[in-house]
Structure 1
């Protein structure tokens, strides 16, 4: 899939994530009201898509609580701001082994493993236009935590997402995940155009150097649509790199807290910076309506 520069780019803003970042920046949204406001801020700054996790308002940690999703989505939809909702379906695949000498039973701290239907309960009720599908299993951090997504689990989730009429955004953290995504498509489980997010620079997945990015891009089927991002200080440079590689852009506080050295960012700051970069390169930043048409999405109200 060798492409030239993409000159019609949509921006996704990943507004909060589930990582331990809320204690590092007061600008990371936590409550449904804050997450909704951050999504609206991102849309007004130029993001077509808001990628949403929810957090426990007390612990500030990532959550699967349907009531939190329900309120967050209600507030965004009630605002009248046009933004495509992309709800995570990654929660519920968290496995933390007991220890290096006694991996079983798993640790109660950090383990949250549930079935395909429960992982998609919020998607089934709220029917966003997009939800994520983490296409593989991967080590995270330096301990015993494993992001766990077996082929059987992914097959079941993809079938349910398809039946709901929601578009999965396939999260690719490493090259083997791309092979798994192609396997799902061959079984008729992914509606076109297939939407892919290349998640670069996350230990211990694909590094974010240009060679690795282009190796992944060049192995995408030609009719797939992709975005790409990196984390930390390479997030904003990737706004340019992703577009040059033929893709779309993701920024946001899930992946990076900083606008510049010593300057904490808001989601709106990061979207605005990415938009400035893209427009200075001669690219058009697509609206939610234009992105919806490009991705052939079903608008929800």
Structure 2
């Protein structure tokens, strides 16, 4: 078990979930304020998606990301920004012609996915390591797209978080490492319990951990009611943890959570196990992050 654990707070995600929980941040100010608040609660990383301030739905607009990032960086609170680069991969086969994208399809090229990252240079960004049946749609990320995106991330100097939704995606991520497309010690994130990816249970987490390259850093999260069990299991197995309203809207059954509630709860749990949350600066040093120029 780690005695010093990196806590990531995934603040909002891409889904339109505000109608289910009023605490889900949507506007740039709300998202930035939550990033600052979770840092004070013990998180060292804020994982950020942008939302359309008017509709609450997903936004790929670099200007929205810029406002979030600038608000966080201009605050007096230290927090590492982990920006999603996995948007624009949703494919819903058309009802009349499955060769055409139906309602809900949202596809971007690797260059479009990378644009906000390349412009704003967060310390970390996600790199989704394959395609997946994602509920009743398909998340598309063919091998050639992933290689191109990995090259763009590498050229930017941002550290990729290799998001793996199943064991085959770990194989592909390891191939990227082997080909020299991932610099330094790789950082993996196991995404568990998402229909229809890897199960959210200890056996699956151990299997995925056992397939990692030697010396890799890793964390894991579960969605919904699996959030806290998977976070604790990750800590016990030597990994790091992620919680937040992107993955789970409840503190416990019937009790809606805020991002701070979720971070407070997991910090209390890992402290009860004899561990401590890692500070942002200690996290930078551990992960060998390149701090963006001009950031305090």
Give the alignment of 1:159-174 within 5 angstroms.
159-174=151-166
Number of the residue aligned with 1:263:
255
Return the offset for 1:239.
2.2
- In the alignment, structure 1 residue 121 sits paired with structure 2 residue 115: yes
Query: Residues 45-90 of structure 1: CA distance to partner in whole angstroms, max 9, x if unpaired?
Result: 0000000001111111111011110100010001121100000001
> Where does the alignment leave 5 or more consecutive residues of structure 2 unmatched?
none
Moved over 3 A (4+): none
Match of 2:198 in 1: 206
Partner of 1:7: 3
Contact 1:239 1:278 in 2 (8 A): no
SS of residue paired to 1:250: strand
| 1:71 paired to 2:67 | yes
Contact 2:42 2:277 in 1 (8 A): yes
Selected match of 2:266 from 256, 274, 285: 274
Query: What does residue 35 of structure 2 align with?
Result: 39
Task: Report Cα offsets for 1:273-299 as digits up to 9, x if no partner.
Answer: 000000110112100000000000011
Q: Out of 54, 57, 69, which is 1:61 matched to?
A: 57
| Residue of structure 2 aligned with 1:247, choices 239, 243, 254 | 239
Matches of 2:160 and 2:35 in 1, distance apart? 19
Conserved in 1, the CA contact under 8 Å of 2:125 and 2:158?
yes
Q: What is the match of residue 221 of structure 1?
A: 213
SS for the counterpart of 1:62 is coil
Normalised to the residue count of structure 2, the TM-score between the two structures is 0.97
Report the counterpart of residue 100 of structure 2 in structure 1: 105
Q: Which runs of 5+ in 1 are unaligned?
A: none
